[in-house]
Amino acid sequence: METLPEDFIGRIIFIIGKYGTTLLNGAGTTLAIALVGTFIGCLIGFIVGIIQTIPINKSDNIIKKVFLKIVKLILNIYVEVFRGTPMMVQAMFIFYGSAIVFNIHMDMWVAAYLIVSINTGAYMAETVRGGILSISEGQTEGAKAIGMNHIQTMIYVIIPQALRNIMPQIGSNLIINIKDTCVLSCIGVVELFFVTKTVSGAYYTVFESYTITMVIYLCMTVFFSKILRIIENKLNGAKDYSLSTTDTLAYTSRMLKYPKKEEKEWETK
């Protein structure tokens, strides 16, 4: 076994040199699970959120009312269960429970993507529901007035507007997933935290190994926070209204200011 440097910085450099590639591979796995899980979770959240906001009218037939109430009840249970329990418990329950109860021996990578996706979907469902309800009812009424059904109204009118409002929460879920993938080490997923435990145990360098890992996590979260902030700014659009003063129709709405010379000529006429 190689001799470990005595100073803290020396140990950091030693670990990076010996296990740097291994740690980066673990970080890559963490990012892959977080990105895919967040994307699929958002799709689940949008579907669940749209279904939860389907109105039940008095004029609807009894079959539709009963069906919607049952579906909404099931979805509410799903949301409450996965928002009210830790992801680590969910991972153990799904991975080992599926094998014991249903004799389904799930691959740990499939389990990892599934767990992060459905966990994110539960949080996104409430976010989407809130985003939809934040849009003025006039938008929905206008869409229905031109013959759109609920699904069409959601896709073409409400969701595009709600997306801008819920974009910060989508970003927050991605950041949370980057950090919370560490709990998947309990089912043997070789992500960054799992790798760090192995590295720290090789030379008993717990403090040094986790210092490096902390910096890696911080770099990943800060990077994606900046990317998401740029996307938010793009969705917000321009901050000025210069277009309205350069449009040719602005002349008829008297939104342009004429030069003083032209104003005097206008007054003499």
Question: At residue 263, does pLDDT exceed 60?
Answer: no
Q: What is the pLDDT of residues 216-260, one digit of tens each?
A: 999 999 999 999 888 888 877 666 555 445 545 444 444 445 455
pLDDT at 260: 54
Q: Residues 134-146: pLDDT tens digits?
A: 888 888 888 888 8
Q: pLDDT band at 64, cuts 50/70/90?
A: confident
Q: What is the pLDDT of residue 226?
A: 92
Which two structure tokens, joined as six digits, stand for 232?
A: 């938010």
Q: How far apart are CA 39 and CA 35, in angstroms?
A: 6
**Segment among 4-18, 118-132, 249-263 with least mean pLDDT:** 249-263
Answer for the pair 174, 46: CB distance below 8 angstroms, yes or no.
Answer: no
Whether the per-residue pLDDT at 80 is higher than 90: the answer is yes
Asked whether the predicted pLDDT for residue 28 surpasses 50, the reply is yes
Amino acid (one-letter) located at 72: K
Kindly report, residue by residue over 181-202, the tens digit of the pLDDT: 999 999 989 999 999 999 998 8
> What is the rounded distance in angstroms from the CA atom of residue 212 to the CA atom of residue 109?
25
Beta strands in the chain (DSSP E): none
Q: What is the dihedral of CA 207, 209, 213, 215, to 10 degrees?
A: 70
What token pair was written down for 15? 């670990």
d(CA 237, CA 91) in angstroms, rounded, equals 40
Q: How confident is the model at residue 3 (pLDDT cuts 50, 70, 90)?
A: confident
End-to-end CA separation in angstroms for the chain: 98
Which residues, including other chains, have CB under 8 Å from residue 81's CB and lie 6 or more apart?
122
Q: Are 232 and 171 in contact (CB under 8 A)?
A: yes
- Model's pTM, two decimal places? 0.81
Sign (positive or negative) of CA dihedral 251, 257, 263, 265:
negative
Residue 97 pLDDT more than 80? yes
Q: Which of 240, 86, 224 lies closest to 168 in space, CA to CA?
A: 224
Residue 67: other Cβ atoms inside 10 A? 13
Average pLDDT rounded to a whole number, residues 204-220:
94
Which candidate, 160, 204, 206, places its Cα nearest to that of 193?
206
Residue type, 10: G
